[in-house]
Chains A and B, each alone.
Chain A
Amino acid sequence: MIEQVAVSGLLMGLIYALVAVGLSLTWGVLDIINFAHGEYLMLSMYTAFWLYTLFNMDPYVSLPLAALLIFVIGYLNYKIVIKKVIDAPGLTALLATFGLSLLFRNLAQFFWTPNIRFISNTIVTDKKIELGSVVLGMPQLVAAIGSIIMVFVIYHFITKTKIGKAIQATAQDKSTARLMGINTEKIYALTLAIAGAAAGIAGSFMSTFYPVYPESGMMYGLLGFVIVALGGFGNIMGALYGGIIIGLAEAFGAYFLGTQFKYAVVFLIYLVVIQFKPRGLFGW
C-alpha cells in the first residue's frame, strides 16, 4: 500500500512541477507573483473540454491548441495588464494579477456555468497498468511523463538557447540586459507566454482525469506557490524537486492522516521550510 501511495504522489508531483515551473519563471524573471497562473490551468482545461465536446477532439490531440491559446493569453496579459503595473510601487502588481484571476474565474462561471464537468471518454480513460501490487492510472501516468518531459524542454530552452540565456540575463539584471541589446519588454512578454503554455499543457493533461469547473485551477495555483517557495524563485529544477516533494507530502498526508488533512501537511512543510530556508531548498 505504501508503494502505491508513493507512486501516486510522485505522479501528481510531476504534474505540479510543470504548473510550478511557469510560476517560478514569472516570479524569477518579472519579479511578480502571478495569481492568475492557476486560472491558465483552468482555461486550458475548458479548452480541452470544449474541443472534446464540440469536435470530439481527444485532449491529447487538442493539447497543442490549448498550449498555444494559453501562450497567447499569457502574452496578452503582459501587454495589456502587467506591463502597466510592473514598476508600480507596493502591492499594485500583486493586486492586478489577483484581479485577473478573479476575472478569469468569473468569466468562466458566466459563460460556462459553475457546473462540474468531466471529459468522460478519452483514449486513456479507465486504462491502467499493474506492476505487482501497484496500480498506475494511465491518465496520471501519461500526464506525469508528459510533464517531466516539458520541464526538461523548458530547462533546456532557458539554459541552452540564446533567447533562454537572454531571459536569464534579464532576470538577473534588467538594466544591464538592456545594455547588451536585449529587448527586455519582449523578454517579459515571452516569459509570461511560456509560463502560460506550460500551464496550458499541464491543464490539458489534467483534463483527462480531473473535473473541469471555474475553480479547477485555484488549488493548483496555490500549490504552485508553495512549490516555487520550496524550489527557489526562478529555479526550474527546484520547481521539479519541489513538485515531487509536495506530491509525496500530499499523498502520504492523505494516507496517514486522512484526505481532509493532506493540504495541512503540504502547508506545514512550507511553513517549516521558509522558517529555515527563506530562499527555498534549492534557491539561487
Chain B
Amino acid sequence: MLRVKNLKAGYDGVPVIFDVSFEVREGELVSIVGSNGAGKTTILRAISGLIKPLAGEIEFMGERIDRIPAHEIVERGIAHVPEGRHVFGKMSIRDNLLMGAYTIKSEAEIRKTYEEVCDIFPRLRERESQKAETLSGGEQQMLAIARGLMSRPKILMVDEMSLGLMPILVDKVLDILREIRNRGTTVLLVEQKVQEALEMADRGYVLQTGRIITSGTNKELLESDLVKKAYLGM
C-alpha cells in the first residue's frame, strides 16, 4: 500500500534520514521506533509532502507521491497526525474535526464520518463547542487523531502520540489505534516508546540515526538482542 524506497530527506538540503526503505501493507499496524532525533518525524513529513525528499521514492497505492504538494496528499487517503498534536487551539473541537474533513465535498459524508469518529471518542462530542486549547494533553491527542480520521484515510500516520502523556493515557491511545486498525484503517505509528509501540504492532522497523537497522514482526523485534540491549534496557 505504502512503499518507501531509498528515501533521503532532511531540512535545507542537510539530510536527516539516509536510504530508508520500508513498506506498509493494507490492514497492518506498523511501528517505526527509534530514539529522539533518529529521523522518525522526517520520514512522516516526507510522506505527507511537508518536505520534499532529497532522493528516493514514495509510492502509495501504486502511485508516486513524492512530488505532490502536501494539501493534495490528504485527498489520496493519507492522514498525518503531527507530533505535538497541533490542534487548532482557538477553534472549537467541532471546527477542528471539520477541518480534518476539509477535502471531503459531501456534507452528508462529513456528518456520517463525524458521528463515527465521535463514537470512538465520545468525550469529543460532549465538548464539541469548547475551544480545543481548553482540553488536557490527552484529550488534545485524541482530538488530533480524531481529526486525522475525519478525512476517511486509507492510512493513518501517527507521530509520537506518547509525547507528554502519562503512561495510562498512552495505553489508552494505543488501544484506540488498535481499534481504528480493526475497523479497517491501516496505521503507521512512529514512536520512541519502543516496547509499547512494538507490542501493539504487527510489524516494526527500528530507525537509528537516519537508517533502518533492523525490521521484523513484533515478536522478532521484541526478542532480538539488538532491540533488547539498545532500547529495552535488558
A residues whose Cβ falls under 8 Å from a Cβ of B: 162, 165-166, 168-169, 172-173, 175-184, 284
Mind listing 25 A-B residue pairs with CB under 8 Å?
A162-B102, A165-B98, A165-B99, A168-B95, A169-B99, A172-B89, A173-B86, A173-B88, A175-B82, A176-B82, A178-B71, A179-B50, A179-B70, A179-B82, A180-B99, A180-B102, A180-B103, A180-B147, A181-B71, A181-B72, A181-B74, A181-B75, A181-B151, A182-B71, A182-B99
Which range contains the number of B residues in contact with the other chain?
Answer: 20 to 34
B residues whose Cβ falls under 8 Å from a Cβ of A: 48-50, 69-72, 74-75, 79-80, 82, 86, 88-91, 95, 98-100, 102-103, 147, 151
Interface contacts beyond A169-B88, A173-B88: sample of 19 additional A-B pairs, CB < 8 Å, sorted by A: A162-B98, A165-B91, A166-B102, A168-B88, A168-B90, A168-B95, A172-B88, A176-B86, A178-B49, A178-B69, A178-B70, A178-B71, A179-B82, A180-B71, A180-B99, A181-B71, A181-B103, A183-B71, A284-B90
Residues of chain A lying within 8 A (CB to CB) of residue B90:
168, 172, 284
Residues of chain A lying within 8 A (CB to CB) of residue B88:
168-169, 172-173, 176
Contact of A184 among B49, B71, B86, B89 (CB under 8 A): B71
Interface centre among A165, A176, A180 (most CB of B within 10 A): A180
Cβ of B91 to closest chain A Cβ, rounded Å: 6
Q: Is the interface of A mostly helix, strand, loop or mixed?
A: helix
Chain B residue, CB-CB nearest to A234: B90
Interface centre among B79, B80, B88 (most CB of A within 10 A): B88
Question: How far is B157's CA from A70's CA once the two chains are assembled, in angstroms?
Answer: 42
Residues of chain A lying within 8 A (CB to CB) of residue B147:
180
Residues of chain B lying within 8 A (CB to CB) of residue A179:
48, 50, 70, 74, 79-80, 82
Whether A180 contacts B74 by the Cβ 8 Å rule is: yes
Whether B50 contacts A166 by the Cβ 8 Å rule is: no
Interface centre among A177, A181, A183 (most CB of B within 10 A): A181
Residues of chain B lying within 8 A (CB to CB) of residue A169:
88, 91, 99
Whether A181 contacts B102 by the Cβ 8 Å rule is: yes
Residues of chain A lying within 8 A (CB to CB) of residue B79:
179
Contact of A168 among B48, B74, B91 (CB under 8 A): B91
Residues of chain A lying within 8 A (CB to CB) of residue B95:
165, 168
Question: How far is B2's CA from A79's CA once the two chains are assembled, in angstroms?
Answer: 35
Residues of chain A lying within 8 A (CB to CB) of residue B99:
165-166, 169, 177, 180, 182
Interface centre among B74, B89, B99 (most CB of A within 10 A): B99
Given contacts A168-B88, A173-B88, contact A178 B50 (CB under 8 A): yes
Chain B residue, CB-CB nearest to A179: B80
Question: How far is B79's CA from A180's CA once the two chains are assembled, in angstroms?
Answer: 8
